[in-house]
Structure 1
């Protein structure tokens, strides 16, 4: 028997058991950093197992033909076991890669959704800003219109005051005209009376003159 081969064999069996245990443990781990770390450890252990297989192969081929056949048969079993373990690790890595791809897709989708949300939010903000500007413009126009209306009302009030003042003045003129009419009417009546008085005086004087002439002529 080859003690060197048996030493490699014991080391490989320990690695094989360790690999099987780690594969089972990795399959139950949640996706993420822990599984990635476990896969890295599995790959490192597989490399160690590959090294041991090559050492056992070299050792078996260096033995006598009677022993070589026995050890090469064992080596084929270990190689088959190692290939099986490699397939399990590859399967775990593929599942983890698919999960990572799905997560990337989800993240990409989430990023796209977030980008769309930001774009919609930006568009909504722009529409809100435009609406705010329109409201401000409408308010400014309303204030200008209100100021113009107040100015017009003030002008109308001043014109009303002017018209009222003119009306008062015209009323005063009307009163003065009425007074003047009354004075003229009174003067006209007085003149009419004076005419009658003057006429009466003249008539009396004429009668007196006629009477005097008659008296003188008759005597």
Structure 2
């Protein structure tokens, strides 16, 4: 099993390449009507899958060594650019298909030239514009959701790092506390020895004084 820091990124990129190849194939198919609609629905699903894979690739970059990040960020940027191009192609094909279906209101697919037919087309075009605005808003919401997810992952990583720092600081404080306890015990022993030495010194001085006093006493007598 490959445990290198880039193995997961490489695996995700292979998945991304496979998905984008499938999307490209569907976009280039010569389909009409309902068949094209079904194909574009599958494309939308695969675009979401590709977006999710890109998010995983971006998460993996954060855990790489600093020396490798620039190279893999460039690969991620290229993948994002490819996905943006595919999204635009899908959107253009979807718009063209909707326009074709909405405008083909007359029998046999021909356009109606009377006033009522013109009004119908106008309403259909207005509805199509509203639909496109809704699609853009959904795309924007999805983009914001992905950005929020990435920010949340970054915050979690930051919190994990802070927790590790706190745990390290706690271990250092415990070590320092033990060192202080040992130093305190050593100082107490030194103080006890100092008092013992003072007592011994005072006793020696007292004995010497007594001896001197006795010597003087006997000499004077």
Structure showing greater radius of gyration is: 1
> TM-score w.r.t. structure 1 length?
0.46
> TM-score w.r.t. structure 2 length?
0.46
The structure that is helix-richer by fraction is 1
